[in-house]
């Protein structure tokens, strides 16, 4: 074969993709399965801690010991159930900002995890079903503020989670794995017209959407799960156009846009500790508010409520960052109500409430 013929064959080979060996395809399927199981575990653990994705926070303590070891929940006739396990039940609670009137908003055998409240007080949550990482699924629901009038909005075997109301209450953004990886979707408030916003062909997951207060943009997290859910903070137009990186470092999770539009709060990992950070959008400056996770803004953008590592739900004023304990409760993912009077949060189903 002449040198020119060899060069021609090399040029053709460079343009023609080499068939992927069956073994390589098997490994990719195996890795995808493991990755999906981690996503499922993290979704289940959202209400309490981020243990499903490797965070080291523990929110239950041995009575009298003061140590941070995880305490299992034991059902009669069943094995112990730990945070992150599909068998760990959660329900939705609410409490006044002054720490009074703790109320459990109904009960359901599956895991209900609140994530957002509409301007008129309707709670968006995802309900997790399944008793193993292989069978787990989740769908988006809404309910009235007292827990009544529950409506199912999605019905897909994949995981649909992290629903976020638009500022005008007409649409809901959420993350779904129905396309093979986590992607951001939007739908009408009644569940109709479910549309995927981004079509980026890569291995990154898009999750944890939060709307800008004018409804024109959605901020979200782009990262690889596992180890997730932390990633870069991205923003796009509400129709999915113009996606771009807003904050590449530190890696963050669960962003929440301030009602005045000037800041985005989030949780981030620093060493083995999860802490609350606040990004000033205009300057790119990040302010650290100390240990905590799952922040949510007050309606006037002056305070944040979040879960704290001291087994409680706390409020901090940004002008004077002193923590105010609302309730010594093991729950997580607190959400400030639009009228400023209530905190909605998630806790284990056995938690005592009036």
Instruction: Let me know if residue 46 belongs to a domain.
Output: no
Compare 321 and 178 and report the one with higher pLDDT: 178
Longest CA–CA span in the chain (Å) reads 87
The region of weakest confidence among 64-68, 121-125, 136-140, 141-145 is 64-68
Residue 110 lies in a domain: yes
Predicted local distance difference test score (pLDDT) of residue 11: 43
Per-residue pLDDT tens over the stretch 195-247:
999 888 788 899 999 999 999 999 999 987 555 568 899 999 999 999 999 99
Q: Does 38 fall in a domain?
A: no
| Structural domains counted in the chain | 1
**Nearest Cα to Cα of residue 113 among 97, 100, 129, 101:** 129
| CATH for 102 | 2.120.10.30
pLDDT over 50 at 143, yes or no: yes
Backbone angles phi, psi at 331, to 5 degrees: -75, 175
> What is the extent of the structural domain holding 265?
73-348
Q: Which two tokens stand for residue 310?
A: 């001291």
Q: Is residue 9 part of a domain?
A: no
pLDDT of residue 327: 76
In a domain, 127, yes or no: yes
Would 204 be classed as within a structural domain?
yes
pLDDT over 50 (residue 268): yes
Residue 29 counted as domain residue: no
Tens of pLDDT, residue by residue over 33-87, are: 444 444 444 444 443 333 222 222 222 222 222 222 223 333 334 444 444 444 4
**Within a domain: 58:** no
Residue 246 and residue 308: Cα distance in Å, rounded? 26
- Which residue shows structure tokens 């006739």? 77
């Amino acid at each position: 074969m002449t040198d020119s013929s060899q060069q021609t064959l090399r040029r053709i080979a460079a343009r023609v993709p080499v068939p992927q060996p069956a073994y390589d395809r098997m490994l990719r399927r195996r890795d995808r399965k493991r990755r999906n199981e981690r996503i499922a575990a993290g979704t289940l653990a959202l209400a309490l801690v981020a243990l499903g994705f490797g965070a080291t926070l523990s929110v239950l303590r041995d009575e009298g010991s003061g140590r941070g070891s995880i305490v299992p929940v034991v059902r009669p006739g069943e094995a112990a159930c730990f945070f992150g396990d599909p068998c760990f039940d959660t329900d939705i609670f609410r409490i006044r900002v002054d720490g009074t009137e703790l109320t459990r908003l109904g009960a359901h055998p599956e895991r209900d995890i609140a994530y957002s409240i509409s301007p008129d007080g309707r709670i968006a949550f995802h309900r997790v079903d399944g008793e193993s990482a292989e069978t787990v699924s989740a769908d988006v629901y809404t309910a009235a503020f007292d827990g009544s009038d529950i409506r199912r909005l999605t019905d897909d075997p994949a995981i649909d989670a992290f629903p976020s109301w638009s500022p005008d209450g007409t649409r809901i953004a959420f993350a779904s794995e129905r396309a093979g990886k986590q992607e951001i979707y939007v739908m009408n408030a009644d569940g109709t017209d479910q549309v995927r916003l981004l079509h980026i062909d890569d291995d990154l997951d898009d999750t944890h959407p939060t709307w800008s207060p004018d409804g024109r943009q959605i901020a979200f997290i782009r990262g690889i799960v596992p180890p997730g859910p932390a990633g870069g903070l991205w923003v796009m137009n509400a129709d999915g156009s113009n996606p771009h990186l807003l904050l590449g470092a530190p890696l963050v999770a669960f962003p929440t846009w301030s009602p005045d539009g000037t800041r985005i709060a989030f949780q981030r990992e620093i060493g083995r500790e999860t802490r609350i950070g606040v990004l000033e959008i205009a300057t790119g400056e990040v302010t650290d508010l100390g240990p905590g996770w799952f922040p949510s803004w007050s309606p006037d953008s002056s305070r944040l409520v979040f879960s704290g590592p001291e087994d409680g739900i706390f409020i901090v004023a940004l002008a004077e960052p002193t923590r105010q304990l609302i309730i010594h409760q093991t729950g997580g993912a607190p959400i400030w109500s639009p009228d400023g009077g209530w905190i909605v949060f998630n806790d284990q189903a056995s938690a005592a409430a009036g």
